[in-house]
Amino acid sequence: MALPRLIFVTGKGGTGKSTVAAALACAMARRRPTTLADLDGRQSAARILGHQAGAAPDARVAPDVRVGTNYPGSATTILDGALELATLTPRAELEAFIQRIVPLRAISRRMLKSRTFGYVTAALPGLEAFLMIDRLRLIAGRAALEDRFAVIDAPATGHALELLGVARTIESLAPIGTLNRLARAVEEFLADRNRFGVVLTVLPEELALREAIAAAGTLHDRLGIESISAILNGVAPALFTSAEIDRMAALGGHRALAQRRRAAAEFAVHARRELKRAGLEVVELPMQYAAQIGARELAAMSAALAAGLLEGAAPPAR
Amino acid sequence: MKPQTPSFDLARALGDRRLVICLGPGGVGKTTLSAAIAIGDALGGRAVDVMTVDPAPRLLDALALDASDAEPQAVALDGLGARRGARLRALKLDPKATFDRLIERHAPSPAARDAILADRIYRNLSNAMAGVADYMAMERLLELTRDATTGLIVLDTPPAREALDFLDAPRRMLELLDSRAVALLGVRHGAMRGPLAMLDLAARAVLSAFDRLTGLHLLGDVQSFVRNFGGMYAGFAARAAEAQALIRDPRSFIVLVTTAEAERVEQAREFAAALGALGLAVGAIAINRLMPALPAPAALLSAAITPALKRKLARNLEDYAALRAREAGAIAALRAVMPAGVPLIAAPDLGHEPRTLADLAAIARSLHAVE
In chain A, which among 237-276 make CB contacts under 8 A with chain B?
Answer: 239-240, 244, 247-248, 250-254, 256-258, 260-261, 263
**Chain A environment of B322 (Cβ under 8 Å):** 289-291
**B351 Rama class: left (phi>0) / alpha (psi -120 to 50) / beta:** left
Which of A15, A174, A263 shows the shortest C-beta gap to B214? A174
The helix/strand/coil state of A72 is coil
Q: Which residue of A has its CA nearest to B309?
A: A244
Q: Give chain B positions within 8 Å (CB) of A293.
A: 262, 326
Instruction: Report domain extents, chain A.
Output: 6-235+289-310
CA A247/CA B242 separation, integer angstroms? 62
Nearest-CA residue of chain A relative to B303? A251
Radius of gyration of chain A (CA): 21
pLDDT lower than 50: segments of chain B? 1-5, 128-130, 179, 182, 186-196
Closest-CA distance of chain B to residue A135, Å: 19
Best CA proximity match to A120, nearest among A160, A158, A90, A165:
A90
Give the whole-angstrom CA distance, residue A180 versus residue A178: 5
Residue B177: CB partners within 8 Å, gap ≥ 6? Answer: B226, B229, B230, B232, B233, B236
Closest B-chain CA to A107: B202
Q: Do B206 and A101 touch (CB under 8 A)?
A: yes
Q: Is A105 on the interface with B (CB under 8 A)?
A: no
Question: Which pLDDT value is given to residue B207?
Answer: 65
| pLDDT > 70? residue A151 | yes
Looking at residue B76, its pLDDT comes to 92
How high is the ipTM of this complex?
A: 0.85
Could you tell me the sign of the dihedral formed by the alpha carbons of B95, A128, B123, A213, in that order?
negative
CATH code, A6-235+289-310: 3.40.50.300
Decide if pLDDT at A231 tops 90.
yes
Contact (CB<8Å) A120/B207:
yes
CATH number of B10-166+250-293+341-369: 3.40.50.300
Query: What would the DSSP string read from start to end of A243-299?
Result: HHHHTTGGGTHHHHHHHHHHHHHHHHHHHHHHHHHTT-EEEEEE---SSS--HHHHH
On the question of pLDDT at A73 being above 80, the answer is no
Partners of B326 on chain A (C-beta within 8 Å) are 290-293
**Residues of chain A contacting residue B128, judged by C-beta atoms under 8 Å apart:** 125-126, 162, 169
| pLDDT tens column, B297-344 | 988 888 888 999 999 999 999 999 999 999 999 999 999 999 888 999
Render pLDDT for B20-56 as a digit per residue (tens, 0 to 9): 999 988 888 888 999 999 999 999 999 999 998 777 7
Contact between B353 and A206 using a beta-carbon 8 Å cutoff: yes
- pLDDT tens for residues A174-222? 777 777 888 999 999 999 999 999 999 999 998 889 999 999 999 999 9
Domain ranges of chain B: 10-166+250-293+341-369
Q: CB A44 to CB B263 under 8 A?
A: yes
Spell out a b/e string for A174-196, using b for 16 or more CB atoms within 10 Å of the CB, else e.
beebebbebbeebbebbebbbbb
Do A291 and B322 make contact, defined as CB atoms within 8 angstroms? yes
Cβ contacts below 8 Å, chain A against chain B, sum to: 204
Which residues does chain A have within 8 Å of residue B122's beta carbon, measured at their own beta carbons?
none
pLDDT recorded at residue A173: 73
Residue A301 pLDDT class (50, 70, 90 cuts):
very high
The length of chain B is 371
CB contact under 8 A, A18 and B221: no
Q: Which residues touch B301 (CB under 8 Å, ≥6 apart)?
A: none
- Give how far B150 is from chain A: nearest CA, Å: 31
Q: State the average pLDDT for chain A.
A: 83
Give me the phi and psi of B124, to 5 degrees please: -70, -40
Please tell me the pTM assigned to this model.
0.85
DSSP string covering B329-345: HHHHHHHHHSPTTPPEE
Q: What is the CA radius of gyration of chain B?
A: 25
